[in-house]
């Protein structure tokens, strides 16, 4: 569908211009139905050959959160404790098992199964895209995100993914942000600094 129409300023503000990285959360729960809605939006984001290698593990209870805390950098502990939900954004190394379901060419699965560097590159690139789509989708339904890479991923993998099929990429605290805990906004690079037109 080509709309040739810009979304309105309020939507742009919610997704980007006024959206902030949450550094604390108010005491307001995130219903399971909202997590499903976020996933249903995020999964529509593009991935190469529709591979969809991102997996999302929702730590939605004090018990599951307690298993994560020892892996966190000290500066990430407090905000993670108060976040209603923490998401482990993980990558499924065997994503190609699903190719017969998600791609229209029957040989697609074999293409990845027989080429480890191709499978790994595809998983890494598209797995991270999935995390980004998830954050934008979460903002679209009114949630705030606190992404974190300050974590010992080897510890997370050992604790949550002992069979080695999934690997943790980064974390996202999810909930309703406590604006009093925000850091000052840092500047973005200008078009001239970040973009080249050839």
Q: Which of 15, 65, 98, 150 forms a contact with ligand FMN (CB under 6 A)?
A: 150
Q: Do residues 123 and 135 touch, judged by C-beta distance below 8 A?
A: no
Q: Do residues 88 and 158 touch, judged by C-beta distance below 8 A?
A: no
Rg over alpha carbons for the chain, rounded to the nearest Å, is 18
Q: Which of 71, 87, 148, 156 forms a contact with ligand FMN (CB under 6 A)?
A: 148
| Residue of closest CB approach to ligand FMN | 150
Residues 6+ apart with CB under 8 A from 124: 91
| Residues 122 to 141 in contact with ligand FMN, rule: CB under 6 A | none
The stretch near ligand FMN (CB under 6 A) out of 34-42, 94-102, 143-151, 159-167 is 143-151
The answer to whether 147 contacts ligand FMN (rule: CB under 6 A) is: yes
- What are residue 63's phi and psi, to 5 degrees? -65, -45
> What stretches of the chain adopt beta strand conformation (E)?
54-59, 85-92, 144-148, 166-175
The answer to whether 149 contacts ligand FMN (rule: CB under 6 A) is: yes
Q: Which of 185, 193, 194, 195 forms a contact with ligand FMN (CB under 6 A)?
A: 185
Cα 133 to its chain centre, rounded Å, is: 7
The answer to whether 14 contacts ligand FMN (rule: CB under 6 A) is: no
| Residues 154 to 183 in contact with ligand FMN, rule: CB under 6 A | 170
In the bound state with ligand FMN, the residue whose beta carbon lies nearer, of 112 and 134, is 134
Q: Do residues 133 and 87 touch, judged by C-beta distance below 8 A?
A: no
The residues that touch ligand FMN, with contacts defined as CB under 6 A, are 20-21, 75-76, 147-150, 170, 185-186
């Amino acid at each position: 569908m080509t709309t040739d129409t810009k979304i309105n300023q309020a939507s742009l503000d919610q997704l980007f211009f006024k959206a902030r990285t949450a550094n604390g959360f108010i005491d307001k729960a995130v219903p399971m139905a909202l997590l499903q809605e976020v996933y249903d939006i995020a999964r529509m984001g593009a991935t190469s050959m529709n591979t969809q290698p991102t997996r999302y593990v929702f730590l939605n209870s004090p018990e599951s959160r307690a298993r994560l805390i020892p892996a966190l950098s000290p500066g990430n502990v407090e905000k993670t404790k108060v976040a209603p939900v923490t998401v482990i954004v993980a990558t499924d190394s065997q994503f190609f098992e699903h190719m017969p379901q998600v791609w229209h060419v029957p040989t697609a699965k074999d293409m990845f199964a027989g080429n480890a560097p191709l499978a790994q590159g595809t998983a890494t690139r598209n797995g991270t895209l999935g995390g980004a789509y998830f954050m934008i989708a979460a903002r679209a339904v009114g949630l705030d995100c606190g992404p974190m890479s300050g974590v010992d991923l080897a510890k997370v993998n050992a604790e949550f993914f002992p069979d080695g099929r999934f690997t943790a990429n980064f974390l996202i605290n999810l909930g309703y942000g406590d604006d009093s805990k925000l850091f000052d906004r840092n500047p973005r690079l200008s078009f001239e600094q970040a973009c080249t037109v050839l």
